Amino acid sequence: MSGTTLHYIFDPLCGWCYGAAPLVQTAQNIPGLTLVLHGGGMMSGANRRQINTQWRSYVMPHDKRIAELTGQTFGDDYFNQLLNDTSAIMDSTPPIAAILAAEELAGDGAKMLHRIQLAHYVEGRRIADTPVLTVLAADIGLNTEAFINAFNIAQQHTAQHIAESRTLLAKVQGHGFPTFILQDAAGKTTVVPAGDYFGNQPGWINRLTNV
């Protein structure tokens, strides 16, 4: 396993990435496997959007399907409050910057991603808002002042990070988010379909440990 890397191309506003969260947490606990996060910016820049009734009608059936297939919980505050809040803006860039900041500070990018996903999909919070992200960083044990400084720096190169993530996605011919790429010690890469392992932790562990 030594020298094996799992590249994870994700987006914090991607429901299927929330569905894949248990797979990510399992991967973190495999000795000798390095997890590298690549934020894809699904709702960044021109793709930012305001929540409206059409969006709610579109995502709710998908989210319920994700819950059925993965066992992940979507909270009432998400369905009944956030998805009805037409003043809320969905923007992937700030939470990706927060994840980069957490990784830079303490190697806690994956932990920050998980906390952000819970805040959005369970607690119905506005994860594009800096004050919310600052509280979430404190929740995972990061010093507030240090996080704010790291977050401000991360914001300056988040667009480049997103562009590089999208380049990687195209290179491996991945099909959107989530995309997992297993890289062995020799540098050979293989795309591992997340959908094959929803609810199948033993199979996932076996796939990641037999490279």
Beta-strand ranges (E) seen in 2-118 are 4-10, 33-39, 49-50, 89-90
Mean of all residue pLDDT scores within the chain = 97
Tens-place pLDDT, residues 114-169: 999 999 999 999 999 999 999 999 999 999 999 999 999 999 999 999 999 999 99
Tens-place pLDDT, residues 22-33: 999 999 999 999
Tens-place pLDDT, residues 79-96: 999 999 999 999 999 999
Residue 211 — pLDDT band, cuts 50, 70, 90? confident
Say which CATH topology domain 4-209 has. Glutaredoxin (3.40.30)
Tens-place pLDDT, residues 182-205: 999 999 999 999 999 999 999 999
Q: Where are the domains of the chain?
A: 4-209
Helix, strand or coil for residue 38?
strand
Whether 97 contacts 158, CB under 8 Å: yes
pTM of the model: 0.97
Residue 176 tokens read as 């959107």
